[in-house]
Structure 1
């Protein structure tokens, strides 16, 4: 007695390539149209976005500091300059940072400049410009009344020009007694006033090379894990269990060490010089440590209770390895998926960075020095005893234009579309991997089990020719089921802030809904996983394949629960092992980078990417295991009398009769 009725057994156990047709074409068209939208948004972000502008800052003329090629702003003077040798931003008025002029400088002032003569001497001996571009410093010589040129709007900075140090590529006055606490607070309020998302994205942009390198490192660790799965199936359960135990305990200990290290450092820092990002670092790592401790404790408890099932797990992986040995090309699938995912992640990250910095450049006219109607006496002067002077040279610098960027809110809002695109496309890429593996294993199982045909190319051809629509639909369903859960999580966060207003009941209800949607999402993901196998076997549409897979799994619920709970748990530990090792290495690297202000963000992103990479690699075994079992059910080779203590499987329906090893 088989898993399915006689019609399914007779008609669909053998692949019929002549009758195979394209499946779920409508959903493939929807996916293509969605990607057209992503490309259009990317084009706008490339035109209006500039991630370097966040990192380095920009002057009043639209030039991004430290950049060789700046785009000219129409006919605006001093725009489009080469600032590659001017990496730091200097503010002309330290008391009013947003209203004063700002320019890019070669280095921050290394000493306090109290008079224009000091500015002249500093430029003469250090060749460092602190006045406006192309300014003639001869006007600052003694007996020229150059004090009138030191103003918030230039052409020289207001006096005194304090000794400064670069903080996030901005020249910030050093804390000494001449600098008032209010001035320092203005700078740190400006830095802390940046949009939090822009600060995080700035750190991500600064560490994209490290993130890419750590993604490669995660691939290496994942391939090492899967190689051990293939070569040392009998001891792999011990290896992964103890490997995760060590990595989990070590990672949790390192997180707590990092938290206390940051806390001790902040305790020794003056209150008025604290950046909010440093405080956020402390809070983030505090919660990271708590979450890691709880998760490690839970999983270690499960490991302890499952240690008696090690022999069963070893035999289970041996059955999977038997298929892998006949299909060594399957090892290339995680690598291909990794390459595609990495390219997509880098593209997605760059577009989101550009979206976060998208703004329209505008101009406004200001006066560097204001004079009266006769053009000889200043209306405003730095001292009450301003002298009458010849201001003929001032006419050239009296009026000029500066750049002001206006936020393009409608473009920034498009990052939500890219958030959906991240989920859908990632699921689509991984679903393609599952379909290729399922098709190769099914083709090997049913028709050419003992031949050396290229099953991988056969399966990939069938995917590209017939089943991309089914993959698009399956990945879209996962994305749709994620959206309500994310919305409910957001609402729960909002209600949690109002517990004192009597929202405990609503908060509890939302938690239950979030849990239900999470379980539903996991079920749909598992059903999709098996539906791809049915599609690879008989070429049916996604909905029919999902229904068939559900019938097969429900008729053998006990056996499927045993196989998948134990096998998937071991694979999950392998993913956690890769994520923990990569996260520890990433944290150690980012912690030593002085340019980062919120290195908790890139550390978290590295862990997410590492888990994605490990998921792609280790899902290979999971897909092969489920595919072989489902193929046996489809062909009627999985008897109803499988016992929990034996789990024996016979393979009477293959082209050549061979009794496989028992899965104990």
Structure 2
């Protein structure tokens, strides 16, 4: 159908462009004020960024003095931290070497030197090692370490098979070292807790990163196979849709019927026995409930009710189910006619990833636009009374914020800490950036929907399918960019506002939990969250169909949304049946493709060593990578395949929705006459009892 096109919702497009310019300004402010290197690169106790700041430019790694001070609750290590040029590769303890060489199976060559703060030289004459450790100027022990994201962590936590005996001896020696330095008794359970925290961190997240890095080619191959399966599923949907739907309905009816009969049989069997059951009670023993006749009676009533309801729905909605199947088959034909539509989602997906990355980067820069304040871990030892003479001086901070602090001369276990204060005005910029991110993201999604809707609408409204334009996708992209960006911005703004309100409600709930909770406010927030969740789902449904109408008629967003809404309301039962059957088939497709890839990946990692697997990208044989957590690789492949399947089947879903709306419009606008023929396929016309009054030569 040739519709005269014109630009729609220009004001919304102008507002969108202005807001985007504002986001660019926020990005400039963020990039000039923040420093995300504070989060990426390690920072020592004085706030010096290792490997970045001038005084530590040649010291990119960070060493923690005492890992036993690491707290699982705080997710931090309350111990001095110092930048070093390389992670220590040897051990050192402040106790005689004879006490730990044999226990740890070490040689003299594996014994290193103590690590101290800048300006403290252990080789200096008169150096008091014990006092330096007590004053937190030197580490109480040094372990062979590996650098992970420029943090030096003990090497033993990355071993594929940790040595429990070695770890036990190490904890004992660390305990002896700390006791030697402090002169007190050290709780080994506390040491174990700190070591477990660091080992858990390194043995899971960090090792997983390395596993993924070494298996990236396997992940890509797995996802690639998933793409092929999705492509095949979309291609054969026209042949298997009817079988899948009617087969599932038949199996479900049979299962419910059999379940009803089984429950009634068990109910009568238990009732006819003379065994007296004890009084009803709550228990975790499921066999107790299976011995109760009421359990089977309730099961029989439930299964029987569902069986009757499903049977009646099947009989009453039989014709509508046939329409849904025919639309799915027609959608498969349209997708096969425009294979390029299957690859179209990659373009908006890349744009979405770019927008997410840009938003995250700006958010990161804004989050690091802070002012550093330097202090001590123990404020009680700071001298404020000038009359006290026995004091010592501690210097904290970097060059631009250096601070000299006087503390009691006998103060021990004192070291510098840094704290960042956030500029309140940047919080509002974060909210501004967040809303812009939501608007941009929904704009890309809306653009993708409108382009696909225009393509599949072209397929439907082409009377002779032999005359379908070969570049329908390109034409749809042109119309969307030339005329309808304003309508896309309008619809995206509505969804973005709702999502932004939902995020604000979550933020408000978190803030209120910090104080005393008010039950009225608590439940009001929950009701509002539920309300806006439902509103978002509803508006996404309206938006999607509004974009289809924009693509068909070229009208503005409001008129298109109104037309789509009332058209769907006049056919609400058909809408429900078509949507649910389509959702079921696409869910089944996503599940089967993902499950198949997971199964292939599992057998590859579990038994791949026994078989030669030829690579798709090389002629050599793929070796199963040596990974510690291969189930994580399988999970990554599963997630990647699931995302790809959603992208592929999202195109199919859009095809069904577009053709369905076109079908409803076709029924209302046309009557099959020569002037107003039906554009639907013969199968659909047969189902709804319609036909075109045309000569055989003109039929399609």
Contact 1:567 1:622 in 2 (8 A): yes
TM-score, normalised with respect to structure 2: 0.58
Indicate whether 1:408 and 2:422 are aligned.
yes
Return closer, same or farther for 1:81/1:124 CA change in 2, 3 Å cut-off.
Answer: farther
Q: Where in structure 2 are the equivalents of 1:343-354 lying within 5 Å?
A: 343-354=354-365
Q: Match of 1:234?
A: 239
Per-residue CA shift, 1:4-60, capped at 9, x if unaligned? xxxxxxxxx5311xxx22222222233233333444444455556566654663224
Q: Match of 1:617?
A: 648
Q: Match of 1:327?
A: 338
Q: Where in structure 2 are the equivalents of 1:161-560 lying within 5 Å?
A: 161=141, 163=143, 169=151, 175-176=171-172, 177-178=175-176, 179=178, 185=190, 221=226, 224-235=229-240, 314-361=325-372, 404=418, 406-410=420-424, 411=426, 415-446=430-461, 449=465, 450-486=467-503, 503=519, 514-560=529-575
Contact 1:23 1:467 in 2 (8 A): yes
With 467-476 and 445-454 compared, the bigger mean Cα shift is at 445-454
Q: Match of 1:113?
A: 94
> Residues of 1 paired with 2:635 and 2:430: CA distance?
19
> Residues of 1 paired with 2:49 and 2:513: CA distance?
41
With 182-191 and 551-560 compared, the bigger mean Cα shift is at 182-191
Contact 2:65 2:79 in 1 (8 A): no
Return closer, same or farther for 1:92/1:102 CA change in 2, 3 Å cut-off.
Answer: farther
The Cα of 1:430 is off from its aligned counterpart by: 1.7
The Cα of 1:473 is off from its aligned counterpart by: 1.3
Secondary structure of 1:107 counterpart: coil
Secondary structure of 2:83 counterpart: strand
The Cα of 1:549 is off from its aligned counterpart by: 1.3
Return closer, same or farther for 1:470/1:555 CA change in 2, 3 Å cut-off.
Answer: same
Contact 2:10 2:486 in 1 (8 A): yes
The Cα of 1:658 is off from its aligned counterpart by: 6.1
With 514-523 and 454-463 compared, the bigger mean Cα shift is at 514-523
Q: Which stretches in structure 2 are left out of the alignment for 5+ residues?
A: 72-76, 100-106, 155-166, 179-184, 249-305, 378-389, 394-414, 606-625, 673-679
> Residues of 1 paired with 2:695 and 2:515: CA distance?
66
Q: Match of 1:627?
A: 658
Return closer, same or farther for 1:611/1:107 CA change in 2, 3 Å cut-off.
Answer: same
Indicate whether 1:648 and 2:688 are aligned.
yes
Contact 1:95 1:186 in 2 (8 A): no
TM-score, normalised with respect to structure 1: 0.61
The Cα of 1:587 is off from its aligned counterpart by: 12
Q: Match of 2:58?
A: 81
Alignment: residue pair count: 532
Return closer, same or farther for 1:136/1:521 CA change in 2, 3 Å cut-off.
Answer: closer
Q: Match of 1:284?
A: none
Indicate whether 1:57 and 2:42 are aligned.
yes
Per-residue CA shift, 1:210-235, capped at 9, x if unaligned? 99997996686366324312234332
The Cα of 1:532 is off from its aligned counterpart by: 1.0
Contact 1:56 1:88 in 2 (8 A): no
> Residues of 1 paired with 2:665 and 2:369: CA distance?
54
The Cα of 1:242 is off from its aligned counterpart by: 11
Contact 1:50 1:358 in 2 (8 A): yes
Q: Match of 2:284?
A: none
Per-residue CA shift, 1:381-438, capped at 9, x if unaligned? 9xxxxxxxxxxxxxxxxxxx98945242544675555544454333222211111111
With 173-182 and 620-629 compared, the bigger mean Cα shift is at 173-182
Higher relative contact order (CA 8 A, sep 6+): 1
Per-residue CA shift, 1:119-159, capped at 9, x if unaligned? xxx9997666713458655415xx666666556353x44xx
Residue among 75, 79, 82 paired with 1:102: 82
Secondary structure of 1:235 counterpart: helix
Q: Match of 1:24?
A: 9
Q: Which stretches in structure 1 are left out of the alignment for 5+ residues?
A: 1-12, 73-77, 244-300, 367-377, 382-400
> Residues of 2 paired with 1:412 and 1:214: CA distance?
38
Indicate whether 1:571 and 2:554 are aligned.
no
Task: Mark the structure with the bigger radius of gyration.
Answer: 2
Residue among 60, 65, 70 paired with 2:52: 70
Return closer, same or farther for 1:144/1:435 CA change in 2, 3 Å cut-off.
Answer: closer
> Residues of 1 paired with 2:417 and 2:521: CA distance?
48
Question: Pairwise CA RMSD of aligned residues?
Answer: 6.0
Contact 1:359 1:406 in 2 (8 A): yes
Q: Match of 1:14?
A: 2
Return closer, same or farther for 1:523/1:145 CA change in 2, 3 Å cut-off.
Answer: closer
> Residues of 1 paired with 2:512 and 2:419: CA distance?
35
Q: Match of 1:275?
A: none
Secondary structure of 1:175 counterpart: helix
Per-residue CA shift, 1:159-189, capped at 9, x if unaligned? x436587797465895324356569859968
